[in-house]
Amino acid sequence: MKGADILNLYDVIPENLFSVLASKNKGLYVKTLFVLLEAFKLHLKISKDDLISMIISKLEDEIIMADFSEDELLESEYSLSGKAHFLVRRLKTVGWILIETENDFKEYVTVPGFSYKIIQLLYDISNVSETENFAYVYSTYSSLKNADDTRDVYEMITALNDAAERTEKLVESLKSVYHSITYYNQQLIDTLNVNNVLQSHYERYQEEIVARILKPLKIRDSVPKYKIPMQSILKKWLIEEDSIENMVRYIVTTQKDIDIDECRNDILQKIHYIIDTYDNLEKDFINVIDRKNRQYTRATTQKIDYLINSDQTVKGNLISLLKHISDDRISERACELLSDAFELYELSYVNNESLYERKKAVKRSRNSELIMTEDPLDFQIKAKAMAMQIMNNKYSKQNVSAFVDKLLEGKTEITTADFDINDDETYIMTLLSVVQANDRNSKYMIDISDQFVKSDKYELPYIVYRRRSEK
């Protein structure tokens, strides 16, 4: 629908085309259309007589059982062959087919394009092919890879157009999958028969959604597998200006009335569309669909479990009865009441938890409250004073001077690169030694460089310690 004029549907197809699909014998007409589709695929020229023979061969029982009381049959159309002729005549009347006589005086059936597309769509909806290939990702990568290897301009343009179209179809297919899962989930809610749930999930859903789309998307047609190589090719085309310009020149020379700038923008837009789409494909579509699929699968399992256990048949009632009498609170009494009607025995077993007794929690009794003899503010002040005293004793000036004296023992100078700093104690003493170096009574002096020294997990400036000369 990009840039195209949208026509009225009934300017393309006859107005009464779908009337046979809403008639009393709609099922028979659908099957007749499927026979027509088979004939279309088998023969280039479809003889009317051959088509009628195929209809009789494949739909004999359905034609015999059909009710044509509301249809205006000709006198010659009450037999089996006559009813098959009527079906073909009716399809011609409403516009599904055309019939013309050729030079050999035989009548041949023509299937219009719109008719073929609609019949094929109806057939695809009714019959999910197990071998249907969902390979948009691989096809996109393969065509781009071949075009990049040959560097033929025509092949590059064709591959780019195909890649953009397949990417769009991939996104549409993923959206369709999401809505299909929602549809199956709604059907699951409305289904009350466990066999119908099993058939819907394991026959239809597994074939139509999982086997045809989700599984190939994870294994053969994997997005993570082909995304990076595909994007690398397109990004290379963007970087190489000659690639874009060669494609633009080719299109301009082979098509009339093409604006160069619009042509270039169209090519760039397609390249960026493919790259951006695959960048967000997993986050915006695949992961969302995976979550939806897990929710549906979990809901299906819960629905099956519910339907089985709530079944009102003999089996369901037996399950409910067994659940009821298995309750420890009523088990003995229930067995006594039912002993006259059934031979029931109580069964118990020993497992790895049978000899385990859970520890019982003991509620602690509340003791008398601890009475603080001092005022909280006084206690806080004393605690801070005590902490300061401990810190002062540990990092006093005497201890810092002793630390530096030990470093300079037998030396006139030493640097932070000459000794190891492998614990917090040494690190703190080194920092304090820098502060205390400014003390006029200090026995050492320091020079600090802009360079840094790393020792173990600590990093310090490059510091030179020198003894002060005694006066």
Sheet holding 107-110, edge to edge: 46-47, 107-110, 98-101
Under the banding of pLDDT at 50, 70 and 90, the label for residue 164 is very high
Under the banding of pLDDT at 50, 70 and 90, the label for residue 133 is very low
**So what's the pLDDT on residue 307?**
72
Q: Is the pTM of this model over 0.85?
A: no
23-32, 125-134, 255-264: lowest mean pLDDT where?
125-134
373 has pLDDT over 70: no
342 has pLDDT over 70: no
344 has pLDDT over 70: no
**So what's the pLDDT on residue 130?**
42
Contacts of residues 9-18 at CB distance under 8 Å and 24 or more positions apart, as own/partner, are 12/114, 13/95, 13/114, 13/118, 14/94, 14/95, 16/93, 16/94, 16/95, 17/94, 17/95, 17/96, 17/115, 17/118
- Mean pLDDT, the chain, as a whole number? 80
CA 248 – CA 56 distance, rounded (Å):
57
**So what's the pLDDT on residue 131?**
40
35 has pLDDT over 90: yes
Region for 128 from its dihedrals, namely left if φ exceeds 0, alpha if ψ lies in -120 to 50, beta otherwise: beta
Residues facing 463 on adjacent strands: 448
**So what's the pLDDT on residue 273?**
92
Both tokens of 330, joined, read 């009523």
pLDDT 10s digits, 200-242: 776 677 767 776 677 766 666 678 888 899 999 999 998 887 8
Average pLDDT over residues 314-337: 67
Encode burial over 288-309: b for 16+ CB neighbours within 10 A, e otherwise.
Answer: ebeebbeebeeebeebeeebee
CA 443 – CA 200 distance, rounded (Å):
92
408, 433 Cβ separation under 8 angstroms? no
Percent of the chain whose predicted confidence (pLDDT) is above 70: 75
pLDDT 10s digits, 272-298: 999 999 998 888 888 888 888 888 888
Average pLDDT over residues 341-354: 66
3 has pLDDT over 50: no
CA 293 – CA 214 distance, rounded (Å):
9
CA 241 – CA 256 distance, rounded (Å):
23
- How far CA 1 is from CA of 4, 7, 65, 428, in Å, comes to 5, 11, 44, 74
Under the banding of pLDDT at 50, 70 and 90, the label for residue 11 is confident
pLDDT 10s digits, 192-210: 666 777 767 766 777 677 7
pLDDT 10s digits, 44-100: 888 899 999 999 999 999 999 888 888 888 888 888 899 999 999 999 999 998 888
**So what's the pLDDT on residue 446?**
84
- How far CA 36 is from CA of 119, 160, 192, 417, in Å, comes to 9, 36, 37, 93
**So what's the pLDDT on residue 4?**
46
The amino acid occupying position 106 is K
CB atoms within 10 A of CB 142: 16
184 has pLDDT over 90: no
